Amino acid sequence: MTYWAINAVFLALVAVVAGAAAVTAWFRGRAARASSAARASSADRSARARAAGLATVVLLVMTAVFDNIMIGVGLVDYAPDRISGVTIGIAPLEDFAYSLAALVLLPSVWVLLGGPRTPKATAEEARP
């Protein structure tokens, strides 16, 4: 069995959870619109997209650095016949699937667990 086959199992599970989170978020958004709650502004969505992009870059860079260190010092090893052969440094590309899975899975679980529990304070409430 190749590492991509193992990754496929985990990534499929992540896709199911992400799909459930997307449906949940859609229904919550629909309910919020029906109750005339304020929609997220484009500035809020833009800030979230920037934060997600930054988190993605940081996690992938850290994965590249630390995977290369761990492989370089002999902590882990990969059977050459079970990897694709594509590497970033000496880390096989397959290693990055777990980082991508975490980037999708953690926010998805957060949405499924209810997201933020405390309402945002208004500008008047935030003043001392």
SS3 119: coil
pLDDT tens digits along 1-55: 899 999 999 999 999 999 999 999 888 876 666 665 555 677 787 888 899 999 9
Res 48: pLDDT: 85
pLDDT tens digits along 22-31: 999 888 876 6
* DSSP labels, 20-85: HHHHHHHHHHHHHHHTTPPPPPHHHHHHHHHHHHHHHHHHHHHHHHHHHHHHHTTS----GGGS-S
Q: Which long-range contacts does 93-97 make (Cβ < 8 Å, 24+ apart)? A: 94/3, 94/4, 94/7, 95/63, 95/67, 96/60, 96/63, 96/64, 97/4, 97/7, 97/10, 97/11
Q: Share the mean pLDDT of the chain.
A: 86
Span of 1-15, 75-89, 109-123 with lowest mean pLDDT: 109-123
CB 105 within 8 A of CB 14: yes
Reported confidence tier of residue 120, pLDDT bands at 50, 70, 90: low
Global pTM reads 0.75
Q: Kindly list the domain boundaries of the chain, sorted by start residue.
A: 3-113
